[in-house]
């Protein structure tokens, strides 16, 4: 399967010393039958011959923001044409422009006008790369869903050793194949993660030990596979994973339910990984309750969010639940699968031991569906997330065949 066949790739070339590598990259892309258009910055033209790139790509190379042809505004035309924009090599300057939304030349204007995915391949001196400003810009771009590939660590042309070298063209091609072969491209996936806090008074609450690590790992893998991820998280001390992830922070079960139902209508897959508190306080005290020898708290059952999602009659997504158990793991999970009308459930043992504590970095999952089951053996949660997403894709495709 030729994953780059007729893919329209716009190369944005800026003025790094690694610019010579684009010759090999263009040859690779053409060999894989991709369609390549090139836009050059003013600085890049001082380092490489425009005509050579034009011959290699077999298309006119653009560098002038004021170029027009048949009344077509070139930056809009190219912005709409591209399936993917690859900034390679990407200097600190073009990274800063894209991060800030500047549009003072053809390439930066295209980046601002496009709906296509942008991938940045950095190339610069290691001190420039490690600069707090550059790192801030990269962090900003990642939050917007822009992919950053590289840089490599090694000896640089200036003699310094460190991060900053551009990825080799063959590695870029491999990553492009993976990108265009993403099984969840254009999929919408909602994931709930972490605990909920049910307030007793302004300083006390009921909760559990959930860290959110499993749900955040699943969100990262889903985004890596091309999905548009909505991550609804209870109170956790975790950074949002890189990629196309929209994070919604909530505190209580009622807030989580509202966030889920407000955003569920266009989801293909729902993964309820959050450890939602089963109960909440009936009468929240607006002032701190004085310490007493005995305190009686009246509780009421929280809504079962995943059951409400699974019982939707319109735009129902494929529903995956989690079941944290301390005994009869599979038996209890299969019962929940049936009662809650789920498509798949992931059961794990949260009894107190050094591996399976709910707040640990390791886990073991039993996957159970209506006509089968399998074990994902003890492993890091990041690894389990990859294995789990693979199985979810298999089950989803099988259950949605017509």
Given 111, 158, 273, 346, the catalytic residue: 158
Q: Which contacts qualify for 243-249: CB closer than 8 Å, 24 or more apart?
A: 243/142, 243/145, 243/147, 244/145, 245/145, 245/219, 245/220
The per-residue b/e assignment along 268-298, b for 16 or more CB within 10 angstroms, e otherwise, is bbbbbbbbbbeebbeeeeeeeeeeeeeeeee
- Give catalytic status of residue 158 as yes or no: yes
What is the rounded distance in angstroms from the CA atom of residue 201 to the CA atom of residue 205? 7
All residues at 6 or more sequence positions from 267 whose CB lies less than 8 Å from its CB, including other chains: 188, 189, 190, 230, 315, 317
What is the rounded distance in angstroms from the CA atom of residue 230 to the CA atom of residue 38? 34
What is the rounded distance in angstroms from the CA atom of residue 327 to the CA atom of residue 32? 53
Sort 315 into a burial class: Cβ within 10 Å, 0-12 / 13-18 / 19+: exposed
Run of H or E residues at 300: strand 299-301
Sort 197 into a burial class: Cβ within 10 Å, 0-12 / 13-18 / 19+: buried
What is the rounded distance in angstroms from the CA atom of residue 60 to the CA atom of residue 38? 8
For the chain, the first-to-last Cα distance in angstroms comes to: 24
Active-site residue set: 158
């Amino acid at each position: 399967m030729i994953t780059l066949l007729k893919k329209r790739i716009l190369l944005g070339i800026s003025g790094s010393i690694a610019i010579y590598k684009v010759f090999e990259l263009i040859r690779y892309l053409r060999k894989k039958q991709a369609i390549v258009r090139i836009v050059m910055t003013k600085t890049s033209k001082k380092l490489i011959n425009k005509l050579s790139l034009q011959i290699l790509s077999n298309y006119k190379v653009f560098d002038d923001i004021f170029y027009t042809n048949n009344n077509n505004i070139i930056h809009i035309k190219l912005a709409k044409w591209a399936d993917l924009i690859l900034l390679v090599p990407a200097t600190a300057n073009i990274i800063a422009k894209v991060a800030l939304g500047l549009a003072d030349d053809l390439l930066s204007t295209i980046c601002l006008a496009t709906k296509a995915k942008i991938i940045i391949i950095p190339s610069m001196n290691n001190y420039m790369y490690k600069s707090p400003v550059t790192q801030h810009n990269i962090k900003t771009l990642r939050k917007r869903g822009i992919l950053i590939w590289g840089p490599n660590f090694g000896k640089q042309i200036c003699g310094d050793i460190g991060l900053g070298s551009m990825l080799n063209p063959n590695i870029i091609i491999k990553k492009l194949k993976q990108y265009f072969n993403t099984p969840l491209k254009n999929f919408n996936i909602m994931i709930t993660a972490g605990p909920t806090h049910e307030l007793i008074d302004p300083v006390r609450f009921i909760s559990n030990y959930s860290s959110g690590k499993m749900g955040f790992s699943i969100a990262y893998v889903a985004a890596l596979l091309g999905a548009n991820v909505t991550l609804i998280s209870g109170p956790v001390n975790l950074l949002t994973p890189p990629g196309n992830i929209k994070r919604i922070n909530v505190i209580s079960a009622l807030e989580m339910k509202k966030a889920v139902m407000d955003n569920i209508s266009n989801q293909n897959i729902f993964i309820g990984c959050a450890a939602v508190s089963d109960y909440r306080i009936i009468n929240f005290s607006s002032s701190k309750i004085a310490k007493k020898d005995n305190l009686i708290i009246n509780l009421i059952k929280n809504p079962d969010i995943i059951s409400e999602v699974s019982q939707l009659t319109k735009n129902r997504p494929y529903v995956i639940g989690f079941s944290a158990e301390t005994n009869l793991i599979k038996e209890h999970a299969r019962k929940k699968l049936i009662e809650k009308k789920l498509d798949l459930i992931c059961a794990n043992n949260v009894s107190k031991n050094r591996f399976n504590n709910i707040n640990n970095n390791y886990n073991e999952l039993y996957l159970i569906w209506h006509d089968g089951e399998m074990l994902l053996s003890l492993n890091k949660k990041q690894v389990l997330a990859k294995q789990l997403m693979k199985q979810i894709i298999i089950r989803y495709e099988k259950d949605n065949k017509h």
